[in-house]
Chains A and B, each alone.
Chain A
């Protein structure tokens, strides 16, 4: 009897851990669909996906650093820097599109490289190193724009107006449609899929996970842990830059501090993703899923006219629930051994 009960409980936890996030998602969709006619429509879903595309890119970068048992708090600032740099290259300097896309990505590489230098070479713990970089990069991007957002033909502090505008082709990246879906959604889906394949089905992904799981054992199996960590932070920087470019193209101007509010949301998405399909570790599909759960929930609550200032309570609640399932399961899984 007692044993039966405990095995029911055990099965319930197993089920929650594997399918909890998916079940929650289905429930939320079902719930909002019954309440509002405008929720379960193609247009609304395409909106939701577009709204989470930027956060998802940021979160993919964070996923890579968490896979190697690191952490990147600087992604928000890096995104902000990339946002204003990509806008300024067009508005202030009137540069061709390919440079406008490449230079911000190089900045992402650079931030990632500095992060890994601080962490791997100097030995500052990842959280603290990227926290410092978060401030430095945020300060850099405000200094660069002197605190102003960047828009077409803006007046310059040195007098006169800026020569350039955001080009149509550039804006298409953020605002265009392709094959029935917004372009940012395509970019997000391709990046999620690419990250998934790399992390789960290639040698490099395996090396990343093993380095995160046990750096000492990875070293003695012939892995250069320093190089692996370096790569992860660079990937994170590049994803953050991509998010920044996308933001500029989406909004049509270079807003300052664009990334700061998105950073924590990205981190939350990654941790919600731990609980998807029983992974128990950072994973690309889970990250996408986490971002989607949060995005759908916020969309539905907006339709329900819930005051925006209450949204963070919901976000936090989802995060706590996902983490609780993940950690309760981990505790059981490893104490049984």
Chain B
């Protein structure tokens, strides 16, 4: 089928700049890509869309030489190429502007040195003429209409947007054929994003092929020529943006399976379980207030870097607070360490489950009993039988797929590991559950199980805070949604009010009606006075 698609394209389009055909990639037993297809024309902006885990980042990492595909061929200007390393990709003229720009910038070097960084390694120049590199850097930045950046200052002092510009300039120095933008606008303000769009237009005009990855649908429709939607490691469809319909694209991204799994539920909301007032951590979090009632699932939604994980950790005593009060079931709780939070009835399912939630080399049963070991060692020794019984209980209840309760967790899939990370709290009978991106890297089947479990918890009168950047999932599971942007809660939406578009708007720092503006301004002033 892949070849048919290719030949069809081949007839339609003369000489594609880049063609990736039938790309397959596995990590251990996990299939990241299977039969993935992607074409790019000269002077085209081609967006790749897909939910987390769809395989976008794997695909672009293969294109930029970070990973090598197991199957499939990459053609550049009609010739098959092999990209063994990031260096090989650069030599072919393929450059990547990473989302985490800081990983690619040497902050102690000047802007000019950063722009020409790769040339130092490339040529055998023993001496570097400061004059020459400054001139060359100025010239490239001029092409990008970014003359305002002083090429002699240290890169450490640049803003994020400026650092991005430096990376684009670096690609231009080498007359890049392809530039990959990986979520370039995620950390940018709206004004900065617009400036980036004009730069991309300029690159287009010069014949550079641009691959554009973004979660923000409106901007994808604004600047792309074509859109390729991926799901579960494969191509779903490639659209011409001019003829594409936003709802159709979203449906293609989500797939049918998930959208009707999450039906709204009728729920009884009890008394307030968690009341947080004016919480700040002196760094990311500014003056947050929120409540969670018994039997309620509250979604906390924001883009990457909005401060969701920081909030979850701060509530759980993982990071210190500079101000604010936390009340649990009406009583003020002093939470200085996760141990205090657990005693107060809280449970955290952290975002990085392998790093923060689990002991992956230990057995399932040792993981499951750990938060509540006292229960399993009533006398002096640990009661291995009780431990095993509890492990079997959560295996059955959460439908965990495993050989036995002794199996080390490394041998379980991501979804099953996540279920253990959730299940280990059940023996404590906690009253408030904090889920931080619980569906990250989890397959659809496990996702559905996890959602069911969260619903069950809520129905049995527990409170749940659901932190997520997967907007559609948060809408599905939550009874109420708080939108975070830049360390603050900027909007509260009821289930009825919440739509993907509205949430995305607030989450990216936008405002809906004019009337909202003063409110937001006031919030900002408050946070300054603290």
Which chain A residues have a beta carbon within 8 Å of chain B's beta carbons?
Answer: 197, 201-203, 206-207, 209-210, 213-214, 216-224, 333-334, 336-337
Whether the pair B318, A222 counts as a contact (CB closer than 8 A) is no
8 residue pairs A–B, Cβ–Cβ below 8 Å: A203-B377, A214-B356, A217-B355, A220-B338, A221-B338, A221-B371, A222-B343, A223-B339
Produce 1/0 per residue, B353-392, CB < 8 A to A.
0011111111000100011011011001110000000000
Whether the pair B373, A337 counts as a contact (CB closer than 8 A) is no
Could you tell me the distance in whole angstroms from the C-beta of A184 to the nearest C-beta in chain B?
Answer: 27
Whether the pair B359, A220 counts as a contact (CB closer than 8 A) is no
A220-B316, A224-B339 given; A206·B410 CB < 8 A? no
Whether the pair B381, A197 counts as a contact (CB closer than 8 A) is yes
B179 within 8 A of A: no
- Best-buried of B337, B350, B361, B371 by chain A (most CB within 10 Å): B361
Could you tell me the distance in whole angstroms from the C-beta of B358 to the nearest C-beta in chain A?
Answer: 6
Number of B residues near A (Cβ < 8 Å) is 33
Whether the pair B410, A202 counts as a contact (CB closer than 8 A) is no
Docked pose: A223 CA to B316 CA in angstroms: 13
Whether the pair B361, A216 counts as a contact (CB closer than 8 A) is no
Could you tell me the distance in whole angstroms from the C-beta of A265 to the nearest C-beta in chain B?
Answer: 28
Whether the pair A337, B28 counts as a contact (CB closer than 8 A) is yes
Whether the pair B370, A216 counts as a contact (CB closer than 8 A) is no
B339 contact from A222, A333, A336, Cβ within 8 A: A222
CB contacts (< 8 Å) of B337 on chain A: these are: 219, 222, 224
B348 within 8 A of A: yes
Could you tell me the distance in whole angstroms from the C-beta of A84 to the nearest C-beta in chain B?
Answer: 37
Whether the pair A213, B357 counts as a contact (CB closer than 8 A) is no
CB contacts (< 8 Å) of A217 on chain B: these are: 355-359
Please name 8 further chain A to chain B contacts, defined as beta carbons within 8 Å, in addition to the given A214-B355, A222-B338, sorted by A numbering. A203-B382, A210-B370, A216-B355, A220-B350, A220-B357, A222-B341, A334-B361, A337-B411
Docked pose: A40 CA to B337 CA in angstroms: 57
Whether the pair A202, B380 counts as a contact (CB closer than 8 A) is yes
B342 within 8 A of A: yes
CB contacts (< 8 Å) of A203 on chain B: these are: 373-374, 376-377, 382
Could you tell me the distance in whole angstroms from the C-beta of B268 to the nearest C-beta in chain A?
Answer: 31
Docked pose: A131 CA to B28 CA in angstroms: 40
Docked pose: A326 CA to B93 CA in angstroms: 45
Could you tell me the distance in whole angstroms from the C-beta of B125 to the nearest C-beta in chain A?
Answer: 39
CB contacts (< 8 Å) of A207 on chain B: these are: 373
Whether the pair A201, B381 counts as a contact (CB closer than 8 A) is yes
CB contacts (< 8 Å) of B382 on chain A: these are: 201-203, 206
Could you tell me the distance in whole angstroms from the C-beta of A235 to the nearest C-beta in chain B?
Answer: 17
CB contacts (< 8 Å) of A221 on chain B: these are: 338, 342, 370-371, 424
Whether the pair B338, A213 counts as a contact (CB closer than 8 A) is no
Could you tell me the distance in whole angstroms from the C-beta of B429 to the nearest C-beta in chain A?
Answer: 15
Docked pose: A86 CA to B240 CA in angstroms: 86
CB contacts (< 8 Å) of B339 on chain A: these are: 222-224
Could you tell me the distance in whole angstroms from the C-beta of B26 to the nearest C-beta in chain A?
Answer: 13
Docked pose: A214 CA to B28 CA in angstroms: 23
CB contacts (< 8 Å) of B357 on chain A: these are: 217, 220
Produce 1/0 per residue, B444-485, CB < 8 A to A.
000000000000000000000000000000000000000000
Q: Closest A residue to B375 by CB, please name it.
A: A203
Whether the pair A334, B410 counts as a contact (CB closer than 8 A) is yes
B318 contact from A202, A210, A220, A333, Cβ within 8 A: A220
Docked pose: A111 CA to B298 CA in angstroms: 50
Q: Closest A residue to B339 by CB, please name it.
A: A222
CB contacts (< 8 Å) of A336 on chain B: these are: 411
Could you tell me the distance in whole angstroms from the C-beta of A248 to the nearest C-beta in chain B?
Answer: 33
CB contacts (< 8 Å) of A333 on chain B: these are: 408, 410
Interface residues in B188-211 by Cβ distance below 8 A to A read: none
Whether the pair A219, B318 counts as a contact (CB closer than 8 A) is yes
A213-B362, A217-B359 given; A222·B28 CB < 8 A? no
Q: Closest A residue to B349 by CB, please name it.
A: A220
In the A-B complex, list the 10 residue pairs whose CB atoms are closest, starting with the nearest: A222-B339, A337-B410, A222-B342, A203-B373, A203-B377, A201-B381, A213-B359, A221-B371, A216-B356, A337-B411
CB contacts (< 8 Å) of B410 on chain A: these are: 333-334, 337
Could you tell me the distance in whole angstroms from the C-beta of A26 to the nearest C-beta in chain B?
Answer: 27
- Best-buried of B356, B359, B362 by chain A (most CB within 10 Å): B359
Could you tell me the distance in whole angstroms from the C-beta of B354 to the nearest C-beta in chain A?
Answer: 9
Could you tell me the distance in whole angstroms from the C-beta of A131 to the nearest C-beta in chain B?
Answer: 28
Docked pose: A201 CA to B387 CA in angstroms: 12
B362 contact from A210, A222, A224, A334, Cβ within 8 A: A210
CB contacts (< 8 Å) of A201 on chain B: these are: 381-382
- Best-buried of B355, B382, B411 by chain A (most CB within 10 Å): B382
CB contacts (< 8 Å) of A209 on chain B: these are: 362
Q: Closest A residue to B413 by CB, please name it.
A: A337
Could you tell me the distance in whole angstroms from the C-beta of A99 to the nearest C-beta in chain B?
Answer: 31
CB contacts (< 8 Å) of B371 on chain A: these are: 221-222
Docked pose: A31 CA to B343 CA in angstroms: 58
Interface residues in B317-352 by Cβ distance below 8 A to A read: 318, 337-339, 341-343, 348, 350
Docked pose: A333 CA to B380 CA in angstroms: 32
CB contacts (< 8 Å) of B377 on chain A: these are: 202-203
Whether the pair A220, B356 counts as a contact (CB closer than 8 A) is yes
CB contacts (< 8 Å) of A214 on chain B: these are: 355-356, 358-360
Could you tell me the distance in whole angstroms from the C-beta of B368 to the nearest C-beta in chain A?
Answer: 11
Whether the pair B361, A206 counts as a contact (CB closer than 8 A) is no
CB contacts (< 8 Å) of B361 on chain A: these are: 213, 334
Q: Closest A residue to B313 by CB, please name it.
A: A220
Docked pose: A217 CA to B380 CA in angstroms: 24
CB contacts (< 8 Å) of B355 on chain A: these are: 214, 216-217
Q: Closest A residue to B424 by CB, please name it.
A: A221
Q: Closest B residue to A207 by CB, please name it.
A: B373
Q: Closest B residue to A214 by CB, please name it.
A: B359
Docked pose: A209 CA to B362 CA in angstroms: 9
Docked pose: A209 CA to B358 CA in angstroms: 13
CB contacts (< 8 Å) of A206 on chain B: these are: 366, 370, 373, 382
Q: Closest A residue to B350 by CB, please name it.
A: A220
Docked pose: A336 CA to B29 CA in angstroms: 9
Q: Closest A residue to B362 by CB, please name it.
A: A213
CB contacts (< 8 Å) of B28 on chain A: these are: 337
CB contacts (< 8 Å) of B338 on chain A: these are: 219-222
Q: Closest B residue to A210 by CB, please name it.
A: B359
Could you tell me the distance in whole angstroms from the C-beta of A332 to the nearest C-beta in chain B?
Answer: 12
CB contacts (< 8 Å) of B381 on chain A: these are: 197, 201-202
Could you tell me the distance in whole angstroms from the C-beta of A144 to the nearest C-beta in chain B?
Answer: 39
- Best-buried of A197, A210, A221, A223 by chain B (most CB within 10 Å): A221
Docked pose: A216 CA to B357 CA in angstroms: 8
Docked pose: A214 CA to B360 CA in angstroms: 9
Docked pose: A18 CA to B530 CA in angstroms: 60
Docked pose: A221 CA to B343 CA in angstroms: 11
CB contacts (< 8 Å) of B318 on chain A: these are: 219-220
CB contacts (< 8 Å) of B343 on chain A: these are: 222
Docked pose: A112 CA to B380 CA in angstroms: 26
Docked pose: A216 CA to B342 CA in angstroms: 15
Docked pose: A214 CA to B356 CA in angstroms: 8
Could you tell me the distance in whole angstroms from the C-beta of A116 to the nearest C-beta in chain B?
Answer: 18
Could you tell me the distance in whole angstroms from the C-beta of A331 to the nearest C-beta in chain B?
Answer: 12
Produce 1/0 per residue, B39-58, CB < 8 A to A.
00000000000000000000
